[in-house]
Each structure stands twice: as C-alpha cells, then as structure tokens.
Amino acid sequence: MIIGGGVAGLSAAYYAIKKAQERSLPIRVSLLEKEARWGGKIVTERIAFDGGHFIIEGGPDAFLATKPWGVALCKELGLGERLQGVNPRLKNTYVLHRNRLAPLPDGLALMIPTNAQAILKSPLISWIGKARMGFDFLLPPAPANGDESLGSFISRRLGREAYENLIEPLMSGIYAGDGDALSLAATFPYLRDLELKYGSLARGALIMRKQSNGKSSPSARSAFLTPTTGLAEIIEALVSRLQADHVDLRLGTSATGLSQSGRGYLVHLESGEVLPADGVILAAPAYASGHLMAPLDAELAAVLREIPYASTATISLAYRASDLPRQLDGFGYVIPRRAGRRALACTWTSTKFPHRAPDAYALLRVFIGRAGQEEAIPWNEEALVRLAREELQQTLEITADPLISRVFVWENSMPQYNLGHPTRLARLSELLQQHPGLALAGNGYRGIGIPDCIHSGELAAETLMALWSPRTE
Ligand SMILES: Cc1cc2nc3c(=O)[nH]c(=O)nc-3n(C[C@H](O)[C@H](O)[C@H](O)COP(=O)(O)OP(=O)(O)OC[C@H]3O[C@@H](n4cnc5c(N)ncnc54)[C@H](O)[C@@H]3O)c2cc1C
C-alpha cells in the first residue's frame, strides 16, 4: 500500500511492480491520493492560444539531468526521446543587485565562482568583498564541529558579501529556504568535501568540473530536462503504466492513520474504511506522514513532524512579446534575501524553453514566498498576481496587462533541511527498524528534486521487497 500520489509515490508503485515481476512475486499494489488528481507538486496546464500553446508549469519546470534517476525513469516510460533541454543559445542568469539586473559571473562550477577575471569584473561584489573571496585559497579547512549552516560555511570561506549577493540566492533559492538555517551537510555536502580535500572551494570545484567534463557523455544535452509538453507527461505515463499493471489506483482517498495488525498494518481512511496491508510506503509530506504514524509510534511521528516546510507560490504571466520593454536574453533572475523583496526569482520561461509559448508571445513566472517570510505574503490569487506584476514592473518595467495569468499556491510544500536534519534522518532510520514493511519516500528526507524523489520511491519499493525475501518467511 502506498500513501501519496506525487512523483515519489507513483515511482514507488512503478518500481514495486517492476521488482515484483522480476522476482515473480504475486503482489497487489494500492496507491492512495487524497486529492482529485495525480502528481502532487507536478502540475502542467496546456492552454491553446492564437494557433499555439502556452505550457504552464505550476510547480517544478524541469529536472536535473546529472542525477540519473529522472532520465532513467523517463527512458523506461518511453519518454527518453521527448526530453528537451533548455535553450542552448542562452547564457545568462541575472541577480537583482541594487534594483538592477547584473549577470552571474562566468565560470561558476558547482555554483562556486572559479573565474577570477569574471569575479573582478562583476558588479555584484565590492572590491573589499572580492579581496575577501581570495581568502578561500589561504584559509585552512575548519576542524569538524558538527552540523554547520550553509550561510555560515560560505561566509567563512568566501566572505559574507559573496554569500549574500551571489551564493545565497542561487543555493537557498532551491529550497525557498534561509541559508543561515539550512544544514550544509543535508543540502550541499560536497562543499565541505571540497574544503577538506582541496583546501579551497574554487580549486576543488574546478578540479571536480574538469573530472566530470571528462566523463560526461556527448549526448548530455543540457543540465535541465523536461518532456516536450511539460512534466505532467511523466505523471501521465506513470499512471497509464500502473493502470495497465492493474494497480489499485484511488484518487480522492485520504488516509488518516496506521495501526498494527499482526505482522502487517491497517490503513484507516477518512471514509471510515480500513484497508489491510503487508507493507506500507508513506510518500506524503513528512508532516502528513507524521500524522499517519501517530497512532503507531509517537516518537517516529514526532521526528517526522519536526521537519519544517515552507510555503511558496508561482505566478505565470503571459504577454505579447512586443509589450515587453526589455529583451529577455537569459534564463531569468534570482533575488537575494537581503533585497527584502517578496519575490524570490523570476524565470523567463519562453526564452528558457521557447516551445512553451506561441511565437510572438512571452511567458514569465514569478516565485513568491520563502522560509520565514510567509506571514508577509497575502496567499490569495488576486494579491499574488498584483505582487508578481509589481515585481515585473519594478525590475523589467513591464506595465502591460497580462493576457493570461495562472497562480499556484503551494502551502507547506518546500521541506527545509535545517540544522539537525542529518541527525533526524539517522533517528528515523533507527526507529523504522522497529517497523518491518514500513518505508518513507518523498521530498522530506534526502533530496527535494524530482530525480531524488523518484529514487526515494525506488528505494522504498526495494525495502518492501524484503518482506518477501526468504529471511522473513
Ligand atoms: C514551486 C515549486 C517549484 C519546484 N521546482 C522544481 C524544479 O524545477 N525541479 C525539481 O526537480 N524540483 C522542483 N521542485 C521540487 C519537487 O517538485 C518536489 O520536491 C516533488 O515534486 C515532491 O514530490 P513528492 O512525491 O515527494 O511529494 P508531493 O508532490 O507533495 O506528493 C505527496 C502527495 O501526498 C498526498 N497526500 C498527503 N497526505 C495524504 C493522505 N493523508 N492520504 C493520501 N494522500 C496524501 C498529497 O496530496 C500529494 O499529492 C519544486 C517544488 C515546488 C513547490
């Protein structure tokens, strides 16, 4: 039984069936989703317009190609040839700095600046800040001192200014998080490895990049990929595969709790129905899984609920290209937390992925809301569109009325891997030992990107397979 029909839960069902078929195990899989649609945070709207289509992503808009599990699943589902990269003609991503857009300096490797010339020319950092960045080559690695925040680590190596103006909007933005609270070990563990191994982030990042360039296959088209008509293609393909495999797929079915029944479990539903299961994969957000676990294991439930989630929203706005005063010559821009804006970033969707808007039209997407600032945001559609339009007016001087606007509010959607997250994960693994046949999947634990969520589903399916291994017979 799998609870939660986002990409993690759907992947768990897919891999459970696949692994059972490979081992000739006669298992029956049920997948419960409380909403009326599959996909969780993945939702794509395709809007016919003036002879073409706007493809509007409500949540994620592409996945990282370098983590193998996304591409691998797409290939298995027959979507390999449908994966498209970002516009190869684009180079720039901008950072909002003193109310203007400044390009990210060339030579970022693993998000670390490595090109001294480019840094010297960049308006993003003052001369004192640039000099401070050079300390990265001189400072010895800090001795191990437990979990450190991303903000503290980068400030220590590159200086606070480089952190606030350059690294924070790139790295914390991925989590809509607060870099001074995010755990380095849980978010970017390789940075500490670079410090320890090479004594310098820049030196280490350069070496790593050279090594991975040597290994990357010539077919690697782009760091970010998406199926042609949007990420929902992955969800649609998974659902039709699961239907073909006779998985018991139940939408509009909310689980309310778990209890023990012999060596198996009972899943209690809001409808009052109770479903028996040999094994259960909890693929809901960590706080929701905590709620489900409460009757079975209060401590496990408490640890799950300790993982905080931030709320965020995306507002997609479509315009006639001729209504935009500025050429959209990049992927978009990110906004440092210290700028004090309510927006976090703006993606220039129709230049990043030209097929997502009809010719002569432009599609932009503004992200609003980040950890710790949610109370300042009015979470209703009208106010969010107003905030997004204010952002576009202030930064890009767009005053025209949008032709289309689509708002997606994602309440408690972005898990925050804050300080202490690695300890919580270790405790969760320990506590789960006492519940054979129970596994966790989803974005709350070891990666929030789509490939990580797919991988978590696959690993959870493998855990359940142990129920049928000879050892437990
Ligand atoms: C705005 C935004 C932009 C993002 N951008 C990117 C990106 O560009 N690239 C990328 O790789 N990742 C991105 N992410 C992250 C990624 O989209 C998510 O981490 C991932 O989709 C989460 O998948 P999941 O299956 O773990 O969880 P979810 O998608 O949250 O699915 C969990 C499901 O469980 C269901 N559920 C909850 N409680 C119950 C219950 N009691 N009973 C039954 N069902 C229940 C929920 O309704 C939900 O459908 C983004 C996320 C957001 C919000």
Is the CB–ligand 1 distance for residue 222 below 6 Å? no
Atom of ligand 1 nearest to the CA of 451: 11
Atom of ligand 1 nearest to the CA of 41: 29
242 C-alpha to ligand 1 centroid (Å)? 19
The CATH number for 373's domain is 3.90.660.20
Strands 2-3 and 30-32: parallel
* pLDDT digits 0-9 by tens, 380-403: 999 999 999 999 999 999 999 999
Q: Does 394 lie in the same domain as 335?
A: yes
Give the span between the Cα atoms of 430 and 300, in whole angstroms: 9
7 C-alpha to ligand 1 centroid (Å)? 7
44 C-alpha to ligand 1 centroid (Å)? 13
The CATH number for 460's domain is 3.50.50.60
414 C-alpha to ligand 1 centroid (Å)? 8
Q: Is residue 225 part of a domain?
A: no
Average pLDDT over every residue of 238-261: 98
- The pair of structure tokens assigned to 16 is 């459970």
* Amino acid, res. 261: S
Is the CB–ligand 1 distance for residue 445 below 6 Å? no
40 C-alpha to ligand 1 centroid (Å)? 5
Residue nearest ligand 1's atom 49 by CA: 40
33 C-alpha to ligand 1 centroid (Å)? 12
> Which band of pLDDT confidence, cut at 50, 70 and 90, is reported for residue 104?
very high
CB contact at 8 A, 384 and 368: yes
Q: What is the total count of domains within the chain?
A: 3
What Rg do the C-alpha atoms of the chain give, in angstroms?
23
The CATH number for 148's domain is 1.10.3110.10
* pLDDT digits 0-9 by tens, 428-437: 999 999 999 9
Q: Is residue 467 part of a domain?
A: yes
Angle between helices 68-76 and 450-465 (to 10 degrees): 70
Q: Does 159 lie in the same domain as 17?
A: no
Q: Does 210 lie in the same domain as 117?
A: yes
Q: Is residue 93 part of a domain?
A: no
Residue nearest ligand 1's atom 10 by CA: 449
The pick from 3, 34, 37, 41 for probing ligand 1's pocket by mutation, whose C-beta has the most ligand atoms within 8 angstroms, reads 41
Q: Is residue 228 part of a domain?
A: no
Q: Does 240 lie in the same domain as 200?
A: no
Residue nearest ligand 1's atom 13 by CA: 60
Does the pLDDT at position 469 exceed 90? no
314 C-alpha to ligand 1 centroid (Å)? 14
Q: Does 52 lie in the same domain as 24?
A: no
- Identify the CA nearest to 259 among candidates 67, 438, 102: 438
Is the CB–ligand 1 distance for residue 159 below 6 Å? no
Give the span between the Cα atoms of 173 and 182, in whole angstroms: 11
Portion of the chain with pLDDT greater than 70, in percent: 97
- Give, in order, the Cα–Cα distances in Å from 80 to each of 55, 72, 377, 465: 19, 8, 39, 27
Q: Is residue 99 part of a domain?
A: no
Evaluate the CA torsion angle 24, 26, 27, 28 in order and state its sign.
positive
Query: For position 228, what pLDDT does the model report?
Result: 96
Does the pLDDT at position 140 exceed 70? yes
SS (H, E, C) 127-174: HHHHHHHHHHHCCCCCCCCCCCEHHHHHHHHHCHHHHHHHHHHHHHHH
Q: Does 138 lie in the same domain as 13?
A: no
CB contact at 8 A, 375 and 369: no
* pLDDT digits 0-9 by tens, 210-244: 887 756 554 456 889 999 999 999 999 999 999 99
Is the CB–ligand 1 distance for residue 440 below 6 Å? no
Does the pLDDT at position 472 exceed 60? no
Query: For position 215, what pLDDT does the model report?
Result: 61
Query: For position 141, what pLDDT does the model report?
Result: 94
Is the CB–ligand 1 distance for residue 450 below 6 Å? yes
Q: Is residue 95 part of a domain?
A: no
Q: Is residue 398 part of a domain?
A: yes
Residue nearest ligand 1's atom 45 by CA: 4
- Give, in order, the Cα–Cα distances in Å from 278 to each of 20, 172, 179, 435: 14, 40, 41, 11
Average pLDDT over every residue of 30-52: 97
* pLDDT digits 0-9 by tens, 314-363: 999 999 999 999 999 999 999 999 999 999 999 999 999 999 999 999 99
Domain endpoint, select from 394, 415, 436: 415
6 C-alpha to ligand 1 centroid (Å)? 6
Listing DSSP states for 273-290 in one string gives -EEEES-EEE-S-HHHHH
Domain endpoint, select from 396, 415, 434: 415
Does the pLDDT at position 86 exceed 90? yes
Query: For position 216, what pLDDT does the model report?
Result: 54
304 C-alpha to ligand 1 centroid (Å)? 16
Q: Does 376 lie in the same domain as 465?
A: no
Average pLDDT over every residue of 43-60: 97
Q: Does 370 lie in the same domain as 291?
A: no
CB contact at 8 A, 306 and 414: no
The phi and psi torsions of 186 (rounded to 5 degrees) equal: -90, -20
Is the CB–ligand 1 distance for residue 447 below 6 Å? no
Query: For position 110, what pLDDT does the model report?
Result: 85
* Domain extent for 71: 44-88+309-415
Task: Please report which helix (H) or strand (E) contains residue 297, including its range.
Answer: none
Query: For position 198, what pLDDT does the model report?
Result: 95
41 C-alpha to ligand 1 centroid (Å)? 4
- Give, in order, the Cα–Cα distances in Å from 370 to each of 75, 120, 337, 343, 415: 34, 31, 9, 8, 11
Tell which phi-psi region holds residue 320, choosing left (phi > 0), alpha (psi between -120 and 50) or beta.
Answer: beta
Is the CB–ligand 1 distance for residue 9 below 6 Å? yes
* pLDDT digits 0-9 by tens, 181-202: 999 999 999 999 999 999 999 9
* Amino acid, res. 465: M
Is the CB–ligand 1 distance for residue 165 below 6 Å? no
CB contact at 8 A, 422 and 186: yes
Average pLDDT over every residue of 264-293: 97
Q: Does 130 lie in the same domain as 193?
A: yes
**11-15, 44-48, 164-168, 208-212, range with the lowest pLDDT:** 208-212
Average pLDDT over every residue of 26-38: 97
Evaluate the CA torsion angle 116, 122, 124, 127 in order and state its sign.
positive
Atom of ligand 1 nearest to the CA of 9: 25
Task: Please report which helix (H) or strand (E) contains residue 178, including its range.
Answer: none
Q: CA angle 63-65-66, nearest 5°?
A: 125
Averaged confidence pLDDT in the chain: 95
Residue nearest ligand 1's atom 26 by CA: 442
37 C-alpha to ligand 1 centroid (Å)? 12
- Residue 408 pairs in a beta bridge with 314
Residue nearest ligand 1's atom 52 by CA: 59
The pick from 10, 443, 454, 458 for probing ligand 1's pocket by mutation, whose C-beta has the most ligand atoms within 8 angstroms, reads 443
- Identify the CA nearest to 148 among candidates 174, 196, 203, 187: 187
Q: Tokens 């059972």 — which residue?
A: 20
Q: Does 154 lie in the same domain as 117?
A: yes
Is the CB–ligand 1 distance for residue 329 below 6 Å? no
Query: For position 60, what pLDDT does the model report?
Result: 98
Q: Is residue 116 part of a domain?
A: yes
448 C-alpha to ligand 1 centroid (Å)? 9
Domain endpoint, select from 373, 399, 415: 415
CB contact at 8 A, 86 and 331: yes
Q: Does 206 lie in the same domain as 278?
A: no
Q: Does 411 lie in the same domain as 433?
A: no
Query: For position 470, what pLDDT does the model report?
Result: 56
> Which band of pLDDT confidence, cut at 50, 70 and 90, is reported for residue 467?
confident
